[in-house]
Amino acid sequence: MMPTGRPAFPYRRGSNASEDDFFDIADEPFFSIFKRQLRHIRTWVVVALIVVFILWQRRERPPPPPLPHIHYDEVDWSRYAYTQYATNEVYLCNCLMVFEALHRLGSKADRVLFYPEEWDLIVEDDVDRVSQLLLEAKLRYKVMLIPIKIEGIQDTSGAGSQASWDTSTAKLMAFGEHEYDRVIHLDSDVILLQTMDELFFLPPTTVAMPRAYWLLPEKTLSSLLVVIQPSLREYLALTDITSLAKNNQVDMNLTEHRYDMELLNRRYGDSAMVLPHRQYGLLTGEFRKKDHRNFLGNEDEVWDPDHVLAQAKFVHFSDWPLPKPWIMWPQDQLAAEQPKCDNNPGTPQESGCRDREIWKMIYDKYRRQRKDVCKLLSYPAPV
Task: Say if 355 falls within a structural domain.
Answer: yes
- 182-186 and 80-85 beta bridge pairing: parallel
Task: Say if 133 falls within a structural domain.
Answer: yes
Task: Say if 301 falls within a structural domain.
Answer: yes
This prediction has a pTM of 0.75
CATH number, domain with residue 81: 3.90.550.10
Percent of the chain with pLDDT over 70: 71
Average pLDDT taken over every residue of the chain: 80
Task: Say if 61 falls within a structural domain.
Answer: no
Q: Is the pLDDT of residue 136 over 60?
A: yes
How many structural domains does the chain have?
Answer: 1
Of 122-126, 166-170, 281-285, highest mean pLDDT: 281-285
What pLDDT is recorded for position 334?
87
Q: Is the pLDDT of residue 173 over 50?
A: yes
Q: Is the pLDDT of residue 228 over 90?
A: yes
Quickly state the pLDDT bin for 69 (edges 50, 70, 90): low
Task: Say if 18 falls within a structural domain.
Answer: no
**Domain ranges, residue 250:** 72-373
Task: Say if 322 falls within a structural domain.
Answer: yes
Quickly state the pLDDT bin for 278 (edges 50, 70, 90): very high
Task: Say if 17 falls within a structural domain.
Answer: no
Per-residue pLDDT tens for 194-209?
989 999 999 999 999 9
